[in-house]
Amino acid sequence: MKSTCCNRHEVPLSRRELLAKAGLGLGAMALGTLLDRNGLLAAEVAASSRRGDPLAPRPPQLAAQGKAVISLFMQGGPSQVDTFDPKPLLHRFDGHPLPESFKSDDLKLQFMSAAGATLMASPYPFRPRGQSGLEISDLFPRLAEHADELAVVRSCYHESFIHGPALSLMHTGSTLLGHPSVGSWVVYGLGCESDNLPAFMVMADGALRGSNSTFSSGFLPAVYQGTMIRTEGAPIQNLAPPPQVTAEEQRALLDQVGAWNRAHLQARQDDSNLAARIANYELAFRMQSAAPDLIDLSGEPTETLELYGADREPTAQFGRMCLLARRMVERGVRFVELYCTDWDGHSDCPANHQDNAAKVDRPIAGLIADLRRRGLLESTVLVWAGEFGRTPIMQGNKGRDHNPYGFSCWLAGGGIQGGKSIGSTDDLGFRAVADKVHVHDLHATILSLLGIDHEKLTYLFEGRRRRLTDIGGENNLAPRLTRA
């Protein structure tokens, strides 16, 4: 439950309170005169229009180039040894039993045992890409053209080999439900530069395993939760007003409700939920024109649609999602998460990954190229990850089981220096062994790239100052990722 204050009662103002409030009013009148005299009143009015808005933009604590995040989440768990972590030794011992030296009591898998397991090499060759020579699998030929933009972290790890808790860890830093997602923490810390679109927006090409828990605001105020956007049809349910209500009638109704709410808020200045509700009414009204315009791609040039693969299969859906993500950050949305939902390669991992990579390779490459040419890549942090990796040993005929002990993610944009890899797994790709990066470290890095100190971004809940990284996150990657 959220902490709340109770027993609020309206009481008459004391003489001291009356003088304090009146004094502030006289000061505001004097300030207005000075601002008007210097031609600054219009700017002050514009800034004050969002004063009290919990989504109003706030400056970062630290110097940073990143202003927005696009999370590219591969739900199901992509295999690191088939994508971004080349393992020559795995090819050499393909079909052989897993060596005893790699087995241990703490090595637990979801659907199989390491005992008697057989090694399975990747069928996809890895090649040096770009000027940097960063090795990337043939699964991503178009993304590989942007290798010099990518910083691949090959030593990610965490503690859960089950989808649900792993998804929760990657999104909230905790295996427990009810914790805020990364996007919610980012919006809580920085607000949103758009005043007519949600600050945190989510799109998926299929069903989400954790429902809305992966983009929930948890114990933060509800205003910080993600908004699911449809990529076809009405972008948001119940957004359009009833046909019998005119725009003027709706505006009048909203103004009256707003007046009542603001009067109610006067005696409850600490009620963030009420303030958020007032802001949400106004945002919903503005979104009625902004959201349909956002999702209307009819004005995009044919070349841009082709760049994202939005004009063909199998890339059409994820291509539209990536193009919409660019349009969102262009309009000031702070955090966008895109889900490709079916990387769970238990029965035939090569076929599963081939199909999914074909859906996302061109769209993600197009997104990077489009952000760069529009001058948005330097201010937009891209993060590609899944909830865990997969085993270098075979499950069944050609499958791979879950593996949280060592997997890969990559980051780009936001001042990141690409063309490099950080950390490593063992010779077979089973465990992170060098420069290990826990999920808390990854979250601390994302916040740092946006100018947020992860230890200072806190929220008081149930008597404790909570944060995204809990009591971890000491290993901040940002200094090794950013340009000198």
**Proportion of the chain in helix, strand, coil states, percent, rounded to 5:** 40, 15, 45
Name the residue with higher pLDDT: 286 or 159.
159
> Taking all residues of the chain, what is their mean pLDDT, rounded to a whole number?
85
Residue range 34-46: mean pLDDT, rounded: 41
- Please, are residues 67 and 375 in contact by the beta-carbon 8 Å criterion? no
CA distance 183 to 226: 7
Among candidate residues 67, 31, 73, the one with its CA nearest the CA of residue 48: 31
pLDDT > 70: what percent of the chain? 78
Q: What is the mean pLDDT of residues 191-195?
A: 92
Write out pLDDT tens, residues 138-190: 999 999 999 999 999 999 999 999 999 999 999 999 999 999 999 999 999 99
Over residues 294-314, the mean pLDDT reads 94
pLDDT of 246: 73
Q: What are the φ and ψ backbone dihedral angles of 227, each rounded to 5 degrees?
A: -115, 120
The identity of residue 183, as a single letter, is: G
- Distances 192 to 55, 280, 350 between C-alpha atoms, Å: 5, 13, 40
pLDDT of res. 349: 97
Tell whether the model's pLDDT for residue 275 goes beyond 70. no
Which pLDDT score, from 0 to 100, does residue 278 have?
Answer: 64
Residue 28 has what pLDDT?
A: 44
Q: Is the pLDDT higher at 381 or at 197? A: 381
* Among the four given CATH numbers 3.40.720.10, 1.10.10.10, 3.40.50.1110, 3.10.20.30, the one describing domain 68-238+275-481: 3.40.720.10
Tens digit of pLDDT for each residue in 48-101? 456 667 889 999 999 999 999 999 999 999 999 999 999 999 999 999 998 887
Q: Element (H or E) spanning 307, and its range?
A: helix 302-308
Arithmetic mean of pLDDT, 351-360: 98
376 Cβ contact partners less than 8 Å away, ≥ 6 residues apart: 326, 329, 330
Model's pTM, two decimal places? 0.84
| Greater pLDDT, 27 or 345 | 345
Q: Which band of pLDDT confidence, cut at 50, 70 and 90, is reported for residue 40? A: very low
Q: What is the mean pLDDT of residues 258-278?
A: 67
The dihedrals phi and psi of 136, each to the nearest 5 degrees, come to: -135, 145
Does the pLDDT value for residue 37 go beyond 50? Answer: no
Q: Which of 103-107, 121-125, 223-227, 338-342 has the lowest mean pLDDT?
A: 103-107
Q: Please name every residue paired with 72 in a beta bridge, in sequence order, or none if there are none.
A: 338, 384
Distance separating alpha carbons of residues 450 and 334, to the nearest angstrom: 10
| Range of 247-251, 286-290, 409-413 with top mean pLDDT | 409-413
Q: Looking at residue 230, what is its pLDDT?
A: 81
Mean pLDDT is lowest, of 81-90, 110-119, 422-431, for: 110-119
Residue 35 has pLDDT above 80, yes or no: no
* Residues 6+ positions from 210 with CB-CB distance below 8 Å: 164, 167, 168, 171
Each residue of 410-438: b (16+ CB within 10 Å) or e? bbbbbbbebbbbbbbbbbbbbbbeebbbb
pLDDT of residue 54: 85
